[in-house]
Structure 1
Amino acid sequence: MFQGSMVALVTPMHPDGGLDWEALDQLVEFHVKNGTDAIVAMGTTGESATLNESEHCEVIKRVIRISNGRVPVIAGTGANSTQEAIDLTRCAKEQGANAALLVTPYYNKPTQEGLYLHYKAVAEAVDIPQILYNVPGRTACDMLPETIGRLSKVPNIIGVKEATGDLERIEPIHSLSEDGFEIYSGDDSTCTDFILQGGHGTISVTANVAPRQMHEMCVAAMAGDSEKAHAINEPLKLLHRDLFLEANPIPVKWALYEMGMIAEGIRLPLTPLSEMYRSAIKDAIGAAEVNQEK
């Protein structure tokens, strides 16, 4: 259902932490103009963990309204409580999201059977396409390919965002999953090779800063043009690396602030980017030769 460069959109905030609706509208327009293939609202990069449920749903609603069908919207609706994940996913469906992205339950470290039953419960409760999201570096919970394969057989579950950075997981996920099950990279540093090896696209942090290049790289990679895809990706490598010098989304929000696109707002316990890393982010933006239409 989805392919290409899907931006894990930041949530703009004022310096006091209040949501900046005008900047959010401008970011959506920015991605429409620059070829982003889908917008993921309220994922990890959108600071979903620091917004309350009302704000969470309002951001999803706003992104859907401003995008106005010009680009698909995938709503981040995962939680470490199954009932909360159901509630957020129901909100996304009511607002008109094209799909939901659900991170593995964090902190409580469920078993593989617990993961299976969690996702199955959400899929059965809310009739909307759902994408699994495996990012053990943040959740302390690794959803194994065998569990992903089981879940691929559940109606509504259409794909997985695999953010381990381990390219060797692509083949077993493919082989264990139902035909048509989609696999997306969640690791910018390896996403070019991920797509060349059979992935359907990337849910990207870098796409916040360089949406046109990420879109063009994905087009080339999905066409099997390895030389062109790697050539487009080469100037982006510093961004892929340095946007994680501190916990995401700290660096990417500062990069967008430096580019004049959002205010320097972020919510505790996250803090603005440390001074020691700011020159590196500036250099990464320069190396990427970011030339987007604002």
Structure 2
Amino acid sequence: MVETAVEAAGDGARVMPGVSAYGSAEARSWAEQAAEAGAGSVLLLPPNVYRADEAAVRAHYAEAARAGLPVVAYNNPYDTRVDLTPALLAQLHEAGDIVAVKEFTGDVRRAWEIAERAPGLDLLIGADDVLLELAVAGAVGWIAGFPNALPGSCTALYRAAVAGDLDTAVPLYRKLHPLLRWDSRTEFVQAIKASQDVVADGSGGPCRPPRTPLSPQDEATVRALTGKLLADGLD
């Protein structure tokens, strides 16, 4: 799969496979496989089978970094129960074990503290519904969900936001936000696929188990939101 992505992208530097695994040795092995396939970096959650302490988190990222690819930390304490705080991220960055963080907490105040504690650490937007806030705070990338359904308008939003063009970004963000908020819900994958179904006539398709379909009410909501955006000329 990674080899296919690298070939399709035409530039492995833009391919970042996830290598989160049950244990650190497996994560390192997957990172090594990603390097062999031509990927430019990897995305890694902290240990999450149990609630890891900071020593375990540091050891985990150090092991994965030995594969030789740049490692992007993924901070999602809601699902992992392990919070990569700005202070801990600074330690990981100072050790040379991470180059960036996908920040998913939704707490935009962290962007400023991360910049203070680890000035060289790249901040990546990790949730669609805080795109504008994190872009203004200095984010340099977006690991995105809904551009899979509405690539044109989402790309325009991102470019305007990181350029500081608020006259363009704010009205567009306001229109998109009711849909973007679904990226922070448990059913975000199903919602994105439902939106794709509306845009491209069934291109999203069903999710792999154990994800179950959206409830009829939620699916109707996502479809209506997407349809309204299309009617307003967004793509």
1:82 matched to 2:24:
yes
Corresponding residue SS for 2:16: strand
Aligned-partner Cα distance in 2 for 1:234–1:131: 29
Compute the displacement of 1:70 (Å): 8.7
The SS at the match of 1:131 is strand
Q: Partners of 2:12 and 2:55 in 1: how far apart?
A: 38
Gaps of 5+ in 2: none
Task: Pick closer, same or farther for the CA change 1:154–1:110 going to 2, 3 Å.
Answer: same
Is it true that 1:137 corresponds to 2:73 in the alignment?
A: no
- Report the AA paired with residue 44 of structure 2: L
Q: CA deviation at 1:201?
A: 2.4
Q: How far is the alpha carbon of 1:261 from its aligned partner?
A: 5.3
Q: Kindly provide the CA deviation profile for residues 123-155 of structure 1, in whole angstroms up to 9, marking residues without a partner as x.
A: 1x2111110000111111111111100111233
Q: How far off its partner does 1:248 sit?
A: 2.9
Contact 1:112/1:144, CA 8 A, preserved across alignment = no
Asked if the contact 1:254/1:272 (under 8 Å) is kept, the reply is no
The aligned amino acid for 1:93 is A
Overall identity of the aligned pairs, in %: 25
Give, in angstroms, the shift of residue 244 of structure 1.
4.9
**TM-score, reference length from structure 1:** 0.73
Using the TM superposition, give the Cα deviation of residue 286 of structure 1 relative to its aligned residue in structure 2, in angstroms: 2.1
Alignment partner of 2:60 out of 118, 130, 134 = 118
| Bigger proportion of residues as helix | 2
Shift of 1:243: 4.5
The answer for the alignment partner of 1:281 in structure 2 is: 222
Aligned partners of 2:134 and 2:160: how far apart in 1?
A: 13
Residues 12, 39 of structure 2: 8 Å contact kept: no
The aligned counterpart of 1:248 is 188
Structure 1 stretches of 5 or more lacking a match?
1-58
Superposition RMSD in Å: 2.0
Cα distance in structure 2, aligned partners of 1:71 and 1:158: 14
Q: CA deviation at 1:101?
A: 0.8
- The structure whose RCO (Cα within 8 Å, separation 6+) is larger is 1
CA positional deviation for 1:71: 7.7
- Amino acid of the structure 1 residue aligned with 2:206: G
1:266 Cα offset (Å): 2.0
The residue type equivalent to 1:115 in the other structure is V
Output the TM-score relative to the length of structure 2. 0.90
- Whether contact under 8 Å (1:81, 1:105) holds in the other structure is yes
> What residue identity is the alignment partner of 1:260?
D
CA 1:250–1:105 in 2, change beyond 3 Å: closer, same or farther?
farther
Give, in whole Å, the separation in 2 of the partners of 1:176 and 1:71: 27
Where in structure 2 are the equivalents of 1:32-181 lying within 5 Å? 59-69=1-11, 72-123=14-65, 125-155=66-96, 157-177=98-118, 179-181=119-121
Hey, what's the Cα distance between the residues in 2 that align with 1:262 and 1:220? 28
**Partner AA of 1:191 in structure 2:** L
Query: Measured at CA, do residues 202 and 80 of structure 1 come closer, stay the same or move farther in structure 2, by a change above 3 Å?
Result: same
User: What CA deviation, in whole Å up to 9, does each residue of 1:76-107 have, x standing for no partner?
Assistant: 11224111111111111111111111112223
Q: Number of matched residues? A: 232
CA distance in 1, matches of 2:52, 2:212: 29
Distance in 2 (CA, whole Å) between partners of 1:76 and 1:274 is 28
Alignment counterpart, residue 229 of structure 1, candidates 145, 169, 193: 169
Contact 2:13 2:39 in 1 (8 A): no
Distance 1:186 1:245, change over 3 A: closer
Q: Counterpart of 1:262 in structure 2: which amino acid?
A: S
What CA distance in whole angstroms lies between the structure 1 residues aligned with 2:82 and 2:153?
32
**Secondary structure at the counterpart of residue 99 of structure 2:** strand
Distance in 1, Cα, partners of 2:144 & 2:201: 20
